[in-house]
Structures are given as structure tokens and as C-alpha cells.
Structure 1
């Protein structure tokens, strides 16, 4: 996920949390247990406060413009939320990678399988799985590998960067390819003797 999208997501969640927290705190000040524990200088809502009395409700009913405006605002907010959700979900696997202007393409799973085969050939790697994500102009390879019992993480990462990742970057050129590596260690099951 890009830094911009990450920042937008965090800012959106922070704003939503601030609005909900402020609303909840304001409403909590109307209850007696919370009201009695607040310092004397803090603002609080009255316990007898009526949010919408009959006179105000009658004045709102006289204006016919506000129901369509409220419905339109809620529809726009829902549409923005759906677009944001679609953008978040869309960062899945890369299906096709265009290679040139002649309509030549490379299947994303084929490049991922070739890269996984190359990663698995690195000394000290027991198993490997590669997933290409992102968009054609910004590729990310998510490499998950399991080290053999005698494998050194430093040597494996060095060989991985020099061999498999550099070859994949050459294949994807002129596009940049970022690699994210997750390493786990192969565990041996202890045999039980009966």
C-alpha cells in the first residue's frame, strides 16, 4: 500500500474516531453519574435538553428543501465510502503485465510462478511462494519463504536479492519492482515413541 493511501486511510479513521468520541462524550455529560464526576469548569449538556421540540419540528416541516438535501448528502457519503472500499479491495493480484506497445503481455501468475521457482532454487530455502500485487506501473512482489533447518537468513536474503529479485526487476523493466520478504523457519516434528 502506498504511503499516500496509508495516510488517507489513517486520516479518515482518525476523523471518524474523533467525531464519534466527541459525540459520545457530549451525550455522556447528560447522565447524572458522568455529570457529577466532571470538573466544575467543563462544558456539559443540560439533562432536560430537548434536541427537537414540537415548534422546531413544525418549522422544519414548513421547509420542503431539507429532505432532498439530506438524502443527497447521505447518498454522496455512501458513494464515497463504496468507492473507497473498492479501491482498498482492488489492490489484489496482478493479472496482466503489458510489456510493450505491440500488445504483448505477460501473465502476472506466470511471472510469480517463475519467480517462486527461482526463489526456491536459492540455497537454504525449503519452500517459497510469490504473489505479485499492485498495478502494472507499480509492482510489488510479496515473497513468503520457509528456510531449511540449516539455512542462514542473511545468506538467503543476499542470494535472493542478487538472483531472483534482480532477474524479476530486469523482466519487469522499465517498471520498478518492490520486494517484500516474509521468512519462517521449517520446524521438525518430534517423533513419539510408544
Structure 2
């Protein structure tokens, strides 16, 4: 997930949480049990408060612009929410990576398959899984390696960077291929005594 999208998601969630928390605090302060716990100098909302009465609603309806503005604001909110939802879903894998010349592409599945095969060949790697993520113009490879119990993570990372990752970056040129590596180890099985 890109930093911009991650920041936008966090900001949206923070704003929504602040609005809901504020509305909940105001509504809770209207109840008798909560009102008794609040300090005396805190602002309070009366329990008999009416947020939107018939007279106020009638005054708003007298203005000809109110109804279209309310409908447009609701429609805009729905459209923005749908755009945000589509942006969350559209984070799938790229199918092809465009290369330097027009019409020349590299299959993303072929690149990830070869990268996984080459990563398995690195000494100390028991299993490798590669997923290509991001957009075709900014690809990102997520490599998950399962190491042998006696393998050195530093040596494995060095071998991976010099071999398979360097080859993949050359193949994806002129695109800059970012690589995230996750390491796990194969567990020892405890010997059983019969």
C-alpha cells in the first residue's frame, strides 16, 4: 500500500472517529447517569433538547436551494465513498510490466515465477514465494523466504540481493522494482523417544 493511500486512509478513519466520538459524547451527556459524573463547569446539553423540530424543518424547506443542496451533498458523499472503496480493491497484482519500447511488455507472472525459482536456489533457502504488487509502472515484489534451520539470514539476504533480485531489476528495467523480503525459519522437529 502506498504511503499516500495509507495516510489518506488513516486521516479518514481519524476524522470519522473524531466525529463519532464527539457525537457520542454529546448524546451521552444528555442522559442522567452520565450527567451526574460530569464536572459542574462542563457544557451540557439539555435532556429535552430537540435537534430538528417541525418549525425549523419548515423554514429550511421554504428556501428553494436547500433540497437540491442536501441531495447533491448526499450524492457527493456516496460517490466519494465508492471511489475510496474502488481504490482499496484496485491494489491487485499487475499482469504485465511495460518495458522501454512501446508494445514490449514482460509478464508479471513469469517474472514472479522465475524470481521464486532463483530465490529457491540461494543457499539456505528451503522455500520461496514471490508476489508482484503495485502498479505496472511502479512494481513491487514481496518475497517470502523460509530458511533452513542452520541458515544465516545475512548470507541469504546477500545472496538474494546479488543474484535473483539484481536479475529481476535488470529484467524490469527501466521500471524501478522495489523488493520487500520477509524471512521465516523452518522449525526443528523435536526428537521422539519411543
**TM-score range, shorter-chain basis?**
over 0.9
Gaps of at least 5 residues in structure 1 are: none
Q: Which residue of 1 aligns with 2:16?
A: 16
Aligned length: 194
SS in 2 for 1:163: helix
Distance 1:121 1:34 in 2: 65
Distance 2:92 2:152 in 1: 31
> Would the alpha carbon gap of residues 166 and 46 (structure 1) be closer, same or farther in structure 2, given more than 3 Å must change?
same
**8 Å contact from structure 2 (residues 140, 180) kept in 1:** yes
Q: Which residue of 1 aligns with 2:47?
A: 47
Distance 1:26 1:43 in 2: 10
Using the size of structure 1 for normalisation, the TM-score is 0.92
Q: CA deviation at 1:12?
A: 1.1
Q: CA deviation at 1:109?
A: 0.5
Q: What is the RMSD computed on CA atoms of the aligned residues?
A: 1.7
Q: CA deviation at 1:68?
A: 2.8
Q: CA deviation at 1:183?
A: 1.2
Q: CA deviation at 1:27?
A: 1.0
Alignment of 1:1-194 (within 5 A): 1-190=1-190
Distance 2:53 2:12 in 1: 34
Using the size of structure 2 for normalisation, the TM-score is 0.92
